[in-house]
Every structure is written in C-alpha cells, then in structure tokens.
Structure 1
C-alpha cells in the first residue's frame, strides 16, 4: 500500500541542520583547543594522574618517621608495564625516594624535587627523555614527583578533554539549549516573508486579474521563483484574454447568420417543419446570448455599486411573469423587507436572478407555482413545484454546458453563469430538489 509523504519542512530542515552545524563547530573548537594543548603540554599529561594515584596510595612513613613507598600491587604492576620507568618522590621537607635509573641530564634535579610545584622538563642536552613534576596529596602530606620513562603515554588529547570538562561542560549546558531555541526562531523569521507569499499565492483566483505575488522582502534565492510564477500568471492571463475575445467575437458573429436564418424561416409556410426550425434557431440564438453573457460577466468590473436586491428581484419577476404565465405557471414575489441594499453589479445580478426564474420555467413541469422571495438576510430564493432534479445531477447542473434533459433551449450555461456571478460577488449558491419541486438560493 502506497502512502503519500508530506513535503519536508524547509523551516525544520534548515533549523536542525544549522543547529547541528553550530554544535559541530563548537565541538571542533573544543577538540581543536585540546589538540593545541597537547602540542604545548607535556606528552606525559595522559599518565600524570595514573602515577600520582599509584604513588599517593603507596606513600607512608615508618615507625621512625622515615618517608618510604610501600610495594603495593598497583606499584608493582606499574613497574612491570614500564621497564624504563623512573621516578623521584620527595616530601616538602626534602625526604625522597627514587626508583629506576634517572637520566644523567635530570640527576642533578633529584635533590631539588621538593622545591618544584609542577614542571614540564624536556629538550635537555644528551637525552630525549621527557620528564614531569607533579604534586599529589598523600597520607603523609604533600609529595612532589619527578618521573619519566613511560612505555605508553596514553592519549594526551583525551586526558585534556577529561581534565578541562569543568570549563566546557557548563558552556555546552548553556549554549546548546540556546542554539536549538534561537536558530529555529531566526530561520522562521527569515522565511516569514516566503510564508506570506505562499498565502497570497493560495488566494489567487482565476478570475481575479492582475493579482501578482510581491517580490519585495523575498530572499534573493527565492525571488527568481516568484518572478517566474508572476511571469506564468502574465502568460496565462494573456491566453485567457485571447480565448475570451475569441468567444465574444464568435458569439457576435453568430448573431448575423442566426438573424438571417430566422428571417428566412419566418417566410416559410406554416407547418411542423417551420416550427421545428424556429425552435432550433431560437435555441441557437439563446446559446450565443448565453456565451456572450458568460464571457461578459467574466470581465465585469462594476461589482461594488449600491444595488437593491428587492427591487432587482421584483423587476425580474415583472419582466418574466408573462412568459411564466404563458407556459402554464402561476408566479408570485415575496419579500421580508421593503428594500435591501448590497454592493454588486446592477447588470449581472438581474441576469443571475433572471436565469434562475427562466430555469424554473423551463424545468418546472409547466404547472404549479413559481415563487421568488427575498429574505432580510440577503438570500434570494426561486422555488418551483416541478418534478425535481435527481440527486446525482444536483451539483453538476452548475457546470458549463451541462443539461439534465435536452429540453432546455440554451446550452446549459444558465446556472453556470449564476454560480459565476454569485462567486464574483463573494456569495454562495445552493440547490435543494425533490419530487415536490426545486429551490435554488443565492446568498449575498
């Protein structure tokens, strides 16, 4: 089973990647400082703690108070592992104990060890041996240790990392939360303008011409995409205008041959063929007019003029009442208010309501009552008592060129035009239909 994967979040991706980069840089600085430390510190740094701990454990005084080192198992192990090991351990009063062969270069320092606090001794003439002096607290007091000759000096960088943790651990404790909190906020602010542009892009409507995405404040890496998108909108609008111009011109051009055909048919002898031809020509003329209305409304700009919905509906009913009565209907108009002002097109809104009434006349079953009403909330209802529209057709009737039955004289553009006009005015159109009739409502 395939699952759709949501696109990755640029904010999240940049946030964690930048945070990791900063953390890596901090870690590299810490490690780099430790590497530098190993270059300037004694190579014995990794074993200083080891020998200090072993000798501190072994240091003691005998019954006469003489300083000595017990032969502990740790001391024996240390000597066994490092055959060249040597050291001089001295108390602060000058008492000392030595082990191994002290290099000649350092022999003269043996009786001075108690004077050193700590030292790194190297580069002496005649030896490559590196010596160190460490201070350690023992049971017999403070002891100074001069040592060298370790076979394995361990990992000095690890020793530095362990030894300096009181410095960098508190720094990391403070810095890491700040990094992981600050970086996402910084990235979010940097992408805020991109999010605003995305919101504007989602609000662009096909019929809202001239809408473009702003380029101001957009990161230069994203700006080419926005410019390209605006260019695509320009090309689309240009092609839409060409199509609309073509349809309007074609509908206009159809008027002349339709009028000629109607004139010629009017001159034919009365009969079934003449009536059939007249109906066909009337249907063709109605289609041409609906196409013109459809495209003209798409270009409408007068959508914010003050109009009276009650007056518009009343005028439409008065104009179409003779046609409804001639088709076998009763027609009535009702309004909850004397007048209801709205902002809209004084030409498009009468066309929308008129199309609803004509649709009721065409599909109402040629009998019963057609009721047009206006509510105080701005809803215009057109209700007939016809056979109704099947449920599977009720949403499709608003699609262009869709007809439930071939009875209509038009091309199936009437209700589609209604939906378009209402959408241009920011309203909604709905339909309810059953076996007792159909109600179409416009809410502005």
Structure 2
C-alpha cells in the first residue's frame, strides 16, 4: 500500500534533481551578473532611467534647436539625484547641459554627438565615472553624457534587466529538457528495482529456492536485496525442519495406530468397540492428511494427461460406501463423456475425495451429496448441510482451521484441496447458505 508514508522515490528524485539544476542555472546567471558589475560602469544602474527621462523631455524650440522640457519625470530625477549632471546632444552637434560638469569632462561636451556608447573612468584628474548612452526621442537620436549617479540604483538588477533575452532563451531551452529528461533518467535507473519488486511479489511461500536477482541493481540497493535473499534462505531452512518433523511424526503415528486397530479388532462386538474404531480411523485419516499436506509441495508430475470425468467418478465410487453408511445419498453427474486436462491423477482424486469427506463430516448425516463435472472444466461438490457462516468462508481453506473447535478432523482437508488446485494452476470457490454448501474447483 502506498500513501503519504511511502512517497514515490522516482517522484522525489525527479523533482529534487530538477530543482537543484534549476537553482544552479539561476545561480550561474546571477553570478555572471554580479561578476559583470565589477568590470562594467557603475552608472549602468541609472542608464535606463536617465535615458527615459531625457527622451520624454526632448523637444525643439522655435528655432528648431534641441531643448529639454521640465517634465515631471525629469524634475523628479533631478530632485532625487542632486549630484546629477548631463550633456544631451543631437547627432548634428546641438547640445543641452545640466548640473556641475566636472572639469575633466567639460572639454568633451562639444564632442558628445560623436559617441554612441562609452564608459569613461580611470582618469588621474577625477574619480568621477561618466557614461555616454543614446536614446531615441521625438526629435531623433540623442546622445547623452552623464555622471554623478555611480552610487545610485542596483547594477545587478540593471544587468538582469538588460540581459533577459539571453537568460530567458537559455531557460526556455533548459527547463523543458530538465523536467523531461531527468524523470526519464531516474525512471530508467529505477527500472531494475521495479523488476526486483515485481519478482518479490511473485514468490510463493511453499516454492523454495526462489531468490531475487542482484545483477544490475544499484549498489545502494543491493545490500537490501541480498539481506532479503538471506532471510528467504533462513525461512526455507526452518520450513524444511518443520516439514521434516511433521512428516516423521506422521510416519511414526502409523505404527501405533495399526497396532491399536489390530487390538481393537480382537475386542468383543459392541457400541464401545465401534466408537473406538471410529476414533482410531479418524486418527489414521488425520495422519494421512498431514503427510499429504506436507508432501504435496514436493516434486509432483503435473504434466500428465488426466480425464476429469474419470477421476471424479473414481473418487465418488471409492467414498460412496462411507457416505451411504453415514446416512447420505450420493450422486454423480457429468455434462461430457471425457474432459482432459494436464495434472496429477492421484492428487486430483485426493482433492475430490477430501471435498466429499468434508461434506460427510459436517452435514449431520442427512441429505444428498452430489458431484458434478461441467464442460468448462469445473468439478463441483454440493451438500445440503447447515452451511458455513459468512465470516468463516475465507478461513476454511487455512491449515488446521475448523469452523467449530469440537468438529471432527484436523482442519487439513480443504487446505489440502486448495494446495492441490493451486499447484495445478486452477482456482477454488465456495458458495454457502443455510440450505447447503457448494465448493467448485476450476482447472
């Protein structure tokens, strides 16, 4: 089950790596802008604002000469920067000046119209930094020499604003590549882990020797896979010990059970003798079921061809005397003459016999037990007993489970049936009501 406590590793790695790369790209862009401020004029922060103010104020007087009107924008700029000075000139050499122009730059005033762009600094005569910039105005191109603004504005943000065509284009190309490529790369890196998880989900508890593959697994995940394989090995060893013990115990029970039966056979006929014989028979049957249950997951030939009709008919014939002596009517029905499937005839015969025996043990000695083979490969055993409560129906196939603690048997019959059917690649279903129970095997 997945949820908030089990986030997707693919999603987490994808967005975190994408975020890191985006942060690196942003840091590089910002770093380049900061570095550029060390080599470019500090006046760059005010270039846009001064050019805009002068462009909005530029006009021609009555004689057609350049003049700068006192617009609100230009007035606000002068009030904001008291040290501001500038020389604005048209390309034909007509100029207008404002402020205290440093003597070192006063001689350049009549030459401003010759420069399109310039950064003037490093003179021994002054520490003032001057800049020449151009602006498009209502009267044509105006070239502006200005200064006194070196400590105003933020050069970094100004550079970011000027360089946006470069980094916006870079981000437009890089971001889709990042968010498309990284999830794909991470997904491919985790593919092998997903394969191992799928393999783990297919491990059957009674199929020993299965291990998860380690080849191709990232080295950070490989120790977990190897630890899981080690755990599987230890569990299998314990399962083999338990299986060996139960098989040996069931074998050991056979001898004293046989001795008890011989001694009881020599007893005088009577009700007590019959009761003891029934008890010993149940004990012998439980020992045989235990052996069948523990041996059923060992090597069994499931590739032989079997006739389900013949198998079911044989099982009914073998157990019919027991059902009749217990007070039941038993019948056999078939929809086809033959129905071949791949499987083990002895194992399937035991499965059908156990279903009928289960009906005999739990239906109170009355009613009819019917066995039906359909053309779809289904074998159904139906009884007219009291039924199985709904909350017990999923549990009756568990080993050693009994609907009532005092019921006969060890609770292995239906579990053995399910094990045999699972080994044959089939499925088993149960339908029950107060009027009877129907168990169906489909191969």
| Superposition TM-score, scaled by structure 1 size | 0.90
2:387 and 2:150 map into 1 onto residues whose CA distance is: 102
Rate the CA distance shift 1:152–1:370 in 2: closer, same or farther, 3 A.
same
Rate the CA distance shift 1:75–1:441 in 2: closer, same or farther, 3 A.
closer
Q: Displacement of 1:404 after TM fit?
A: 4.1
Q: Which residue of 1 aligns with 2:285?
A: 286
Are residue 200 (structure 1) and residue 219 (structure 2) matched? no
Query: 8 Å contact 1:44–1:132 — kept in the other structure?
Result: yes
Q: Which residue of 2 aligns with 1:341?
A: 340
Rate the CA distance shift 1:68–1:359 in 2: closer, same or farther, 3 A.
closer
Q: List per-residue Cα deviations over 1:236-294 (Å, max 9, x = no partner).
A: 11111111111111111122222333334444444444444333322222221111111
2:46 and 2:412 map into 1 onto residues whose CA distance is: 93
Q: Which residue of 2 aligns with 1:176?
A: 175
Query: 8 Å contact 2:329–2:368 — kept in the other structure?
Result: yes
- State the secondary structure of the residue aligned to 2:396: helix
1:243 and 1:425 map into 2 onto residues whose CA distance is: 24
The number of equivalent residue pairs is: 442
Q: Which residue of 1 aligns with 2:326?
A: 327
1:65 and 1:337 map into 2 onto residues whose CA distance is: 115
Q: Give RMSD over aligned pairs.
A: 2.6
Rate the CA distance shift 1:131–1:315 in 2: closer, same or farther, 3 A.
same
| Stretch of structure 1 that moved more, 6-15 or 233-242 | 6-15
Q: List per-residue Cα deviations over 1:307-349 (Å, max 9, x = no partner).
A: 2211211222222233333334443322222221111223211
Q: Displacement of 1:32 after TM fit?
A: 1.8
Are residue 238 (structure 1) and residue 242 (structure 2) matched? no
Q: Where do 1:115-134 residues align within 5 Å?
A: 115-134=114-133
Q: Which residue of 1 aligns with 2:357?
A: 358
1:82 and 1:371 map into 2 onto residues whose CA distance is: 107
| Stretch of structure 1 that moved more, 388-397 or 336-345 | 388-397
2:374 and 2:364 map into 1 onto residues whose CA distance is: 26
Q: Which residue of 2 aligns with 1:219?
A: 218
Q: Which residue of 2 aligns with 1:95?
A: 94
Q: Displacement of 1:113 after TM fit?
A: 1.6
Q: Where do 1:395-410 residues align within 5 Å?
A: 395-404=394-403, 409-410=408-409
Q: Which residue of 2 aligns with 1:371?
A: 370
Q: Which residue of 2 aligns with 1:82?
A: 81
Query: 8 Å contact 1:84–1:151 — kept in the other structure?
Result: no
Residue segments in structure 2 that go unaligned for 5+ positions in a row: none
Q: Which residue of 1 aligns with 2:260?
A: 261
Query: 8 Å contact 1:286–1:409 — kept in the other structure?
Result: no
Q: Which residue of 2 aligns with 1:423?
A: 422
Query: 8 Å contact 1:56–1:139 — kept in the other structure?
Result: yes
Rate the CA distance shift 1:365–1:155 in 2: closer, same or farther, 3 A.
same
- State the secondary structure of the residue aligned to 2:89: strand
Q: Which residue of 2 aligns with 1:158?
A: 157
Q: Which residue of 2 aligns with 1:137?
A: 136
- State the secondary structure of the residue aligned to 2:20: helix
Q: Which residue of 1 aligns with 2:46?
A: 47
After the TM superposition, which parts of structure 1 deviate over 6 Å for at least 4 consecutive aligned residues?
none
1:235 and 1:369 map into 2 onto residues whose CA distance is: 48
2:425 and 2:90 map into 1 onto residues whose CA distance is: 96
Q: Displacement of 1:387 after TM fit?
A: 4.5
Q: Displacement of 1:73 after TM fit?
A: 4.1
Q: Displacement of 1:43 after TM fit?
A: 0.5
Q: Which residue of 2 aligns with 1:414?
A: 413
Query: 8 Å contact 2:129–2:150 — kept in the other structure?
Result: no
- State the secondary structure of the residue aligned to 2:302: coil
Q: Displacement of 1:6 after TM fit?
A: 5.5
Q: Where do 1:46-65 residues align within 5 Å?
A: 46-65=45-64
1:237 and 1:408 map into 2 onto residues whose CA distance is: 32
Q: List per-residue Cα deviations over 1:203-223 (Å, max 9, x = no partner).
A: 222122222222233222222
Query: 8 Å contact 1:105–1:125 — kept in the other structure?
Result: no
| Stretch of structure 1 that moved more, 63-72 or 221-230 | 63-72
Q: Displacement of 1:406 after TM fit?
A: 7.0
Q: Where do 1:9-48 residues align within 5 Å?
A: 9-48=8-47
Q: Displacement of 1:417 after TM fit?
A: 1.0
Rate the CA distance shift 1:146–1:344 in 2: closer, same or farther, 3 A.
same
Rate the CA distance shift 1:54–1:367 in 2: closer, same or farther, 3 A.
closer
Q: Displacement of 1:435 after TM fit?
A: 4.8
Query: 8 Å contact 1:290–1:410 — kept in the other structure?
Result: no
| Stretch of structure 1 that moved more, 37-46 or 252-261 | 252-261
Rate the CA distance shift 1:98–1:436 in 2: closer, same or farther, 3 A.
closer
Q: Displacement of 1:67 after TM fit?
A: 3.5
Are residue 304 (structure 1) and residue 303 (structure 2) matched? yes
1:57 and 1:388 map into 2 onto residues whose CA distance is: 97
